[in-house]
Amino acid sequence: MINNEPYTLALFDTAGQSGFELMRAFSYTNTDVFLVCFSVMSPVSFNNALKIWINEIHHSSSPAPFLLVGTKIDLRTNVAEIELLAKSKQKPITHEQGERAAKQHGAYAYIECSALTQENLKETFDTAILASIKPLKSKRSRIFSCCS
């Protein structure tokens, strides 16, 4: 509910494997908002979001806005997970990195959440609803930041 008005979300997780590009492109035409998600604990996931998924949205004919969503923020302070990343000379993606990338790529918003702890989960979906019903005047020129 937003402003005491109920909304229904239908979420579709698209297949990321090669060979599904046409199927994904077909599903993009009726999309109201995209949630481009990545794990803040996976630099590879972050790079794929920026280089593959956002590029694919930009090249589609869909005028729908997109949110860049950092997930698994509960693991950002998990010592074992941080040590695991450090073994491969990597670090978690910071909020600032996500926000900067969202701005550079024209996202409607950058938001972070944790499905495990439910932190910012409602805010993520509320922001998606707002993006779909009240797009920015210049969808890809401003950024709204939530939940830092």
Q: Does the residue 16 lie in any domain?
A: no
Q: To 5 degrees, how large is the angle CA 26–CA 29–CA 34?
A: 105
Give the separation between CA 34 and CA 65, rounded to whole angstroms.
6
Query: What are the pLDDT digits (tens) for 52-96?
Result: 889 988 888 788 999 999 999 999 999 999 999 999 999 999 999
pTM of the model as a whole? 0.86
Decide if pLDDT at 6 tops 60. Answer: yes
Q: Does the residue 10 lie in any domain?
A: no
Contact 40, 98 (CB under 8 A): yes
Residue 37 parent element (H or E)? strand 34-39
Query: What are the pLDDT digits (tens) for 104-138?
Result: 999 999 999 999 999 999 999 999 999 999 755 54
How many domains does the chain contain in total? 1
The CATH number of the domain holding residue 50 is 3.40.50.300
Give the separation between CA 99 and CA 103, rounded to whole angstroms.
6
Give the separation between CA 112 and CA 110, rounded to whole angstroms.
7
pLDDT, residue 136, reads 55
The whole domain housing 134 covers 21-145
Longest Cα–Cα distance of the chain, Å, equals: 48
Q: Does the residue 12 lie in any domain?
A: no
Contact 99, 111 (CB under 8 A): no
pLDDT, residue 138, reads 45
